[in-house]
Structure 1
Amino acid sequence: MTNQSKSGTIYLMGIGPGDPELLTMQARKILTEVDYVVGYSLYVNQVSELTNNAILEHWAIGEELERAKRVIDLSADGNKVAMVSSGDIGIYGMSGPIFNILSDMQWNGKTPQVIVIPGISALQSASALLGSPLMQDFCTISLSDLLTDWPDIQNRITTASEGDFVVVFYNPKSKKRHWQLEAAFDSLKKCRPLDTPVGLVKNAFREDQEVVLVTLSTVMNVYHQIDMFTTVVVGNSTSYLFEGKFITPRGYEKKSGKSDEKK
């Protein structure tokens, strides 16, 4: 990487689901100190009032690599730059493109300094609103085939289904990409009871939040409600619905008196 003498800093910042109260104290502090805030327009707008005269750069979806290069260029001029992403920036977020480009540039690991600020992820937000769906082993699968070929995604769905994982689907459906989620449900139905819970959380902790609980047998009745702002959670063979909550038992009732809970 050429010219590594300046002391710019890149903050890779997860801003959580969008509610300012769910933004970490560390992120709030840094937003008051940076020179630039860069990100997808929706996310920049969500933190704009928390900055202290920072220059706000709004970018469109589909400009991820250009956005990452811009952040690196700004830091090379000695600026403190916050790259903001919804949820946690390390989960299907912008930390990947930044580190990929830096590695291609033979970054020395020090200049620019890169600091990752974690945020509340979409799967955590969805879990909190649904009940306790993630009490056993689970996996996340993005259904977007823009960057990953569909056969690879399908293989992961099949493996997760056969392994009885609770499955969290990111990027489930868009206007142009609408059949993949139905295919995923069909795969899961081969290994799971039709009364397996399915939780749909759209716009978690925002004004237009929607939480829907259905099952594998009835999910197609609400299929039209699912979009790119929806997180879809499908239970495993032990999951169930009770009083409006999605519950996956932790299993303590089978191991009374024993615990390996991480504090």
Structure 2
Amino acid sequence: MNNEEKKEGGKLYIVGVGPGNPRIRTLEAIESIKKSNVIVAYTTYAELIKDLTEGKEVITAKMKEEIFRTKVSVEKALEGNVVSLVSSGDPQVYGMAGLTLEYICRKGINLDVEIVPGVTAANAAAARLGSPLSLDYVVLSLSDLLIPREEILHKAKMATLGDFVIVLYNPINKPLLLETMKIIRENRKEDTPVGIVKKAYRENEKDIITNLKDWEKYVNEIDMITTIIVGNSRTFVCNGKMITPRGYSNKYEF
């Protein structure tokens, strides 16, 4: 008997729906949700995909109820349902994929699970700013709910010293954000470009390009659905766009 024949229950899709705008969903994400008869999502995400969920059982949960969402998704799939557990962005990037796979593993469950990737907040924000992620970059979450702040600050320092472009997710903890940006500023020039994108591809989107010297002027614009991108030593701004060159001009004549 092969591994597929041993699977329990129905099917579980863990779906990334991107930044929220229907235009930025992948075809695979749309198809997975359409195939599902049960949808499990954070309340805000459920609203963002309402056009795809008519006639389906929709189970919603509040923020910080990730374990509930995981458990109910697995339980519904084990009952024989086709379930979509929905994340914004990509489900592997601070989303539901890691938690759910870990839960299934620790419980000894052999369920048919498929991860459906989506456009990340980093990629969506970067596209709005220009092309700041054309070279090596680091993505860092500033949520200290699960990771100690000392570890976050250490990673920020190492990323800064490594001259990576730095993408900051979940910058809702203002003291931690200020401390992180102080570490970056201490090790980079004050004119280093900083991009701030709020509600990427959603209604009332706001895109700001500033620098390490002046970024704090916009601190009141920053919330949980804001992504911040700090350039590296090569990043510059031209025609209103952040650009991190890959290095072609070092080797070829334009």
TM-score class, shorter: over 0.9
Bigger share in helix: 2
Work out whether residues 8 and 80 of structure 1, in 8 Å CA contact, stay in contact via their aligned partners in 2: yes
What are the superposed Cα offsets for residues 5-42 of structure 1, whole Å, 9 maximum, x if unpaired? 64311100000011111111111122222111101011
Q: 1:127 is matched by which residue type in structure 2?
A: A
Q: Partner residue of 2:18? A: 16
> Which of these residues, 96, 99, 113, is aligned with residue 98 of structure 2?
96
Work out whether residues 8 and 109 of structure 2, in 8 Å CA contact, stay in contact via their aligned partners in 1: no
Q: Tell me how far 1:202 sits from its aligned partner.
A: 0.5
Instruction: Tell me, in whole angstroms, the C-alpha distance in 1 between the residues paired with 2:174 and 2:181.
Output: 13
What are the superposed Cα offsets for residues 87-108 of structure 1, whole Å, 9 maximum, x if unpaired? 1111000011101111111233
Instruction: Tell me, in whole angstroms, the C-alpha distance in 1 between the residues paired with 2:149 and 2:72.
Output: 30
Q: Partner residue of 1:243? A: 239
What are the superposed Cα offsets for residues 83-138 of structure 1, whole Å, 9 maximum, x if unpaired? 00101111000011101111111233xxx200011100000101110001011110
Instruction: Tell me, in whole angstroms, the C-alpha distance in 1 between the residues paired with 2:171 and 2:234.
Output: 23
Work out whether residues 33 and 51 of structure 1, in 8 Å CA contact, stay in contact via their aligned partners in 2: no
Q: Tell me how far 1:51 sits from its aligned partner.
A: 2.8
Q: Partner residue of 1:125? A: 124
| Alignment pair present for 1:66 and 2:68 | yes
When structure 1 is superposed on structure 2, of 127-136 and 22-31 the one drifting more is 22-31
Q: 2:179 is matched by which residue type in structure 1?
A: A
Instruction: Tell me, in whole angstroms, the C-alpha distance in 2 between the residues paired with 1:63 and 1:15.
Output: 19
Q: Tell me how far 1:52 sits from its aligned partner.
A: 4.9
Instruction: Tell me, in whole angstroms, the C-alpha distance in 2 between the residues paired with 1:251 and 1:217.
Output: 26
What are the superposed Cα offsets for residues 116-174 of structure 1, whole Å, 9 maximum, x if unpaired? 1110000010111000101111000001110000111111001001000000000012x
What is the TM-score of this pair, normalised by structure 1?
0.91
Work out whether residues 14 and 84 of structure 1, in 8 Å CA contact, stay in contact via their aligned partners in 2: yes
Pairs aligned (count): 248
Instruction: Tell me, in whole angstroms, the C-alpha distance in 1 between the residues paired with 2:219 and 2:48.
Output: 28
Work out whether residues 32 and 52 of structure 1, in 8 Å CA contact, stay in contact via their aligned partners in 2: no
Instruction: Tell me, in whole angstroms, the C-alpha distance in 2 between the residues paired with 1:32 and 1:254.
Output: 48
CA 1:76–1:185: 2 relative to 1, 3 Å = same
Q: Partner residue of 2:164? A: 165
Q: Partner residue of 2:250? A: 254
**Aligned with 1:49: secondary structure?**
helix
Work out whether residues 48 and 56 of structure 1, in 8 Å CA contact, stay in contact via their aligned partners in 2: no
Q: Partner residue of 1:38? A: 40
- Within-5 A mapping of 1:80-91: 80-91=82-93
CA 1:98–1:208: 2 relative to 1, 3 Å = same
Note the residue ranges of structure 2 that are not aligned, 5 or more in a row: 1-5
What is the TM-score of this pair, normalised by structure 2?
0.95
- Root mean square deviation, CA, Å: 1.2
